[in-house]
Structure 1
Amino acid sequence: MKEELQMNPNLLVEFLQKPPREFTKADMIAFIREKKIKMINFMYPAGDGRLKTLNFVINNESYLDSILTCGERVDGSSLFSFIQAGSSDLYVVPRFRTAFVDPFSEIPTLSLLCSFFNKDGEPLESSPEYTLQKASKAFTEVTGMQFEAMGELEYYVIAQKEELFPATDQRGYHESGPYAKFNEFRTECMSYIAQAGGQIKYGHSEVGNFTLGDKIYEQNEIEFLPTNVEDAADQLMIAKWIIRNLAYTYGLDVTFAPKITTGKAGSGLHIHMRIMKNGKSQMLKDGKLSDTARKAIAGMMVLAPSITAFGNTNPTSYFRLVPHQEAPTNICWGDRNRSVLVRVPLGWTAKKDMCSLANPLEKSVRYDTTQKQTVEMRSPDGSADIYQLLSGLAVACRYGLEMPDALEIAQKTYVDVNIHLAENKDKLEKLDQLPSSCEASADRLQQQRAIFESYNVFSSTMIDGIIKKLKSYQDVSLRSELEKNPEEMAELVETYFHCG
């Protein structure tokens, strides 16, 4: 606990000297009083995947207590397509653990993410946040373990072209300044995200950089640390909001869109997962990937086609998921292999003290590296509904742990080679493929919906709404139609430029 509080950049943690999960209403009032906060913002994700905001002036302490206790009512029909105008009132009630100081407001403002409740004061079954809560709870109740996750948030920064120190096209991975132009913008984003409670692992420039007309496009990434899956979703939502607002402040444009133009790297939202029990990782056994991890992967292999309905939600998603590129199309998994759907990253299992090898003055120590092992789903992108996506992955991993033939499925879908090489053609032909369009994704979700609806995780209303939306794009042949039509491709990209 003490280590969790020391050097913590979260402004509320620093002041209250307790972790966010222990924040109370009294803590909020004490912080507001001491820091002379003048306004409160309620924020909540709507059907378009973006955070919405409701502003309150603190009239007096009685009114402050009222809004923190009772929340407020909002028009649900303007937030979600599945809610009818005739019965549209919803309550939004703040979750104190999500509180953060708005870094962009000139008026001292405290922002809190909210949960939705219906007219009877019950959690809204089809709200994204409550769906994830149910998915996390079902995982623990069924398996006796906890599901944790974190995201790799990739995005492009777009600005006027510069002539000095031009970047090398598509060679931006971990580039330093002055060739990378937006490292300082990224680190400022990271600082704000950390102050807002985001558990950041690191940030860096990514592969994608190119010039288009008079604009430069530079890809960056901010990666998080594994945490409770509900907190992971909240942190990603706040991070996207911060990145966009800081870009606006500097007159930059930012996009999390999966694809910008042909032949250039698209942006993904890779999700890392780990399974914990009593604070200990269950991902390894005797230095190797455990059966628990393999069963969870098997669940993702089975449900991967329908998970695209949550993680790849507009037609441009499927211009990124094309064969022979780093983005996966084949449903398989492997070690340290970026062409597979689920990657098992390098996991510090060599049992060597590399710190003492690199630094001869350091004594060799035993450091528990097992908590570093994750597995990574590589298909999702920035169009994802983050709460639905993480809910779907929690369901898939739980389902894998329930399947009697999970280890057999894991073995059949494992690859230890470049799957695209000619000599692996037979193996490739046996693998299932990800959908190639929104419509195809909707069909796969329809086929597998019962699994997501089990344990009352996804409501049938939510699944119906997702299928209807995906079907509305009518994009079955769109990828082949636009393959040689850059003008129409550019129009499509523009339409979904600010997705998610």
Structure 2
Amino acid sequence: MNADQVLQTIKDEKISFIDFWFVDIFGELHNVGMPSYAIDKNSFVNGLEKLDASSIVGFKSVNNSDMILMPDPTSFKILPSDYDPGNRKNARIFCDLYDGSTDESSRYNRDSRGIAYKASKKLKEFGFTHTNWGPEIEFFVFDTINVYPSPYAATHSYGGSGYSIESKESPWAKGNVSTAIDIKEGYYPSQPKDTLEGFRKDVCDDLYNYFGIRIEAEHHEVATSGQCEINLEYDEMIQMADHVIGVKNLVKVKAKRKNKVATFMPKPIFGDNASAMHTHQSLWNGKSNVMYDKDDEQAQMSQTGRYYIGGILSHASALCAISNPTTNSYKRLVPGFEAPVNVCWGLGNRSAAIRVPMYNRNQEKSKRLEYRVPDPTANIYLLEAALLLAGLDGIKNKIDPGDPIEENVYKLSPEKKREYKIGSLPVSLKGALDSLSSDSKFLEDVFTKDFLDVYSELKYKEYVAFAQTPTAWEVSMYADA
């Protein structure tokens, strides 16, 4: 849609309010609502003077905080009824952020959507027209999460701290003989064990009917206690990032309406599998998939595609600061839970960081790579931008990823890993941030040094707070030391 079509639709559909969406530097969704009668053509020309940027983490200081929200009419969608218990009809529009004016040069450098847009423009320098992206979004839906009593309990007389998770599917719940799913046994169960099939289908229906997001599949994932996965049909860069934000928000909203809680936290359950966001990607020039080479007997992967893989693998440690941006992310990236810990690629090999799917040969349309490292706490705009820039750096510098690994990487000896030149991913958020500080040149032209400095500073603070907070496990382990 363009602005005129949006305004006409608002009138025809009797939309009461418009929600203007944008994300902060960590991908957290923010919203300001305006009644439809307050929106006119000027709103799409000069933007909305509605943002105090000093109140958004990582944005601006209080003495220089006025910013403009510029609605993107192409992102206009009518929202499902779950968004308004008052039965009003609402719509949403994503906004780009501008600083001082609405000229292209004034686009705010800490606007995640703007960073993804800027990265997509790099494709022309390499003779490409667009990229396609297809993330697999995993998450948990619990009946409740109880955190008690406070993260400060260690220094106050509150009697300790901890958390509990309640789910009809958990093996520790009472009276759930017909719905209990054991640890690591949640892959593709049928009803009645799968208590969330209807929930997922409700989400998928709304995603398609309201947001126009096409779904490839939905299913229960490996972990117990309501681990779900929704796979999105591929789309171009900005559209897909908008889709992911919409999916995550809708899942949370619909869970809340059903008195449940959805979380995209990677590893909420000790000893069980965690949530990932495997990200499929391909490069295109018009209708030609640049990653496809029918004459390559091994993988039907072009040399350009191999260089792209080489770029991602060479920057994998630094990318973790964006693809796995929380302290909890590194409780997922450990051996034994189907998560990648080694920097290598393989053909149909789910133990490698990059997998080239090999379901059928001679399928140009579906030739792609799957980056298995990211988790759903990643800011999808930054993730897509960073992966694209790493891959393009590989093409520019002809970075050879070596031969694909055919063996189960989890079972390789240290000697074999050295022989195959397989590196390891960082084991903590601090390690990832340290890698980013020493390997950020491939990002700086798009992300800017200012953005990376602010992002890293805030994430280092997050790590320090985590590192300095005693946990229940530590108290039980070391109290009698």
Structure 1, 73-82 or 311-320: larger mean CA deviation? 73-82
| Structure 2 counterpart of 1:231 | 239
User: 1:461: Cα distance to partner?
Assistant: 1.2
Aligned 8 A contact 2:128 2:283 in 1: no
Kindly indicate whether residue 440 of structure 2 is the aligned counterpart of residue 449 of structure 1. yes
Aligned 8 A contact 1:156 1:218 in 2: yes
The amino acid that maps onto 1:419 is V
Kindly indicate whether residue 257 of structure 2 is the aligned counterpart of residue 249 of structure 1. yes
| Structure 1 counterpart of 2:459 | 470
Query: Matched residues in 2 for 1:415 and 1:271: separation?
Result: 19
* Residues 82/95 of structure 1: CA separation in 2 closer, same or farther (3 Å cut): closer
Kindly indicate whether residue 107 of structure 2 is the aligned counterpart of residue 123 of structure 1. yes
| Structure 2 counterpart of 1:166 | 179
Aligned 8 A contact 1:348 1:370 in 2: no
Aligned 8 A contact 1:273 1:375 in 2: yes
| Structure 1 counterpart of 2:130 | 146
* Residues 427/168 of structure 1: CA separation in 2 closer, same or farther (3 Å cut): same
User: 1:67: Cα distance to partner?
Assistant: 2.6
Query: Matched residues in 2 for 1:275 and 1:95: separation?
Result: 25
Q: 2:191 aligns with which of 135, 158, 177?
A: 177
Q: 1:87 aligns with which of 31, 55, 64?
A: 64
Report 1:334-349 matches (<5 A): 334-349=346-361
User: 1:79: Cα distance to partner?
Assistant: 1.6
The amino acid that maps onto 1:388 is L
Please, what is the CA RMSD of the aligned residues? 2.3
| Structure 1 counterpart of 2:391 | 397
Give the % identical residues.
Answer: 25
Report 1:408-419 matches (<5 A): 410-411=401-402, 414-419=404-409
| Structure 2 counterpart of 1:385 | 379
Query: Matched residues in 2 for 1:140 and 1:247: separation?
Result: 41
Aligned 8 A contact 2:22 2:96 in 1: yes
User: 1:129: Cα distance to partner?
Assistant: 0.5
Query: Matched residues in 2 for 1:291 and 1:280: separation?
Result: 15
When the two structures are superposed, what TM-score results if normalisation uses the length of structure 2? 0.85
Query: Matched residues in 2 for 1:474 and 1:433: separation?
Result: 20
Structure 1, 278-287 or 266-275: larger mean CA deviation? 278-287
The amino acid that maps onto 2:447 is F
User: 1:441: Cα distance to partner?
Assistant: 0.9
Aligned 8 A contact 1:139 1:395 in 2: no
Aligned 8 A contact 1:436 1:476 in 2: no
Kindly indicate whether residue 414 of structure 2 is the aligned counterpart of residue 436 of structure 1. no
* Residues 261/482 of structure 1: CA separation in 2 closer, same or farther (3 Å cut): farther
Aligned 8 A contact 2:266 2:276 in 1: yes
The amino acid that maps onto 2:408 is N
Report 1:347-358 matches (<5 A): 347-349=359-361
Residue deviations 1:213-238, cap 9 Å, x none? xxxx2101011122111111110001
Query: Matched residues in 2 for 1:271 and 1:185: separation?
Result: 24
Aligned 8 A contact 2:327 2:463 in 1: no
Query: Matched residues in 2 for 1:165 and 1:379: separation?
Result: 34
The amino acid that maps onto 1:450 is K
Structure 1, 430-439 or 292-301: larger mean CA deviation? 430-439
Query: Matched residues in 2 for 1:171 and 1:30: separation?
Result: 51
The amino acid that maps onto 1:200 is I
Give SS of 2:222's match: strand
| Structure 2 counterpart of 1:289 | 301
Report 1:265-280 matches (<5 A): 265-280=273-288
Aligned 8 A contact 1:318 1:437 in 2: yes
The amino acid that maps onto 1:469 is L
Kindly indicate whether residue 144 of structure 2 is the aligned counterpart of residue 156 of structure 1. no
| Structure 1 counterpart of 2:164 | none
Query: Matched residues in 2 for 1:345 and 1:72: separation?
Result: 44
Q: 2:205 aligns with which of 188, 191, 196?
A: 191
Q: 2:223 aligns with which of 208, 215, 239?
A: 208
The amino acid that maps onto 2:405 is V
Give structure 2 stretches of 5+ with no counterpart: 144-166, 169-174
Aligned 8 A contact 1:40 1:55 in 2: yes
Query: Matched residues in 2 for 1:79 and 1:190: separation?
Result: 31
Give SS of 2:392's match: helix
| Structure 2 counterpart of 1:67 | 43
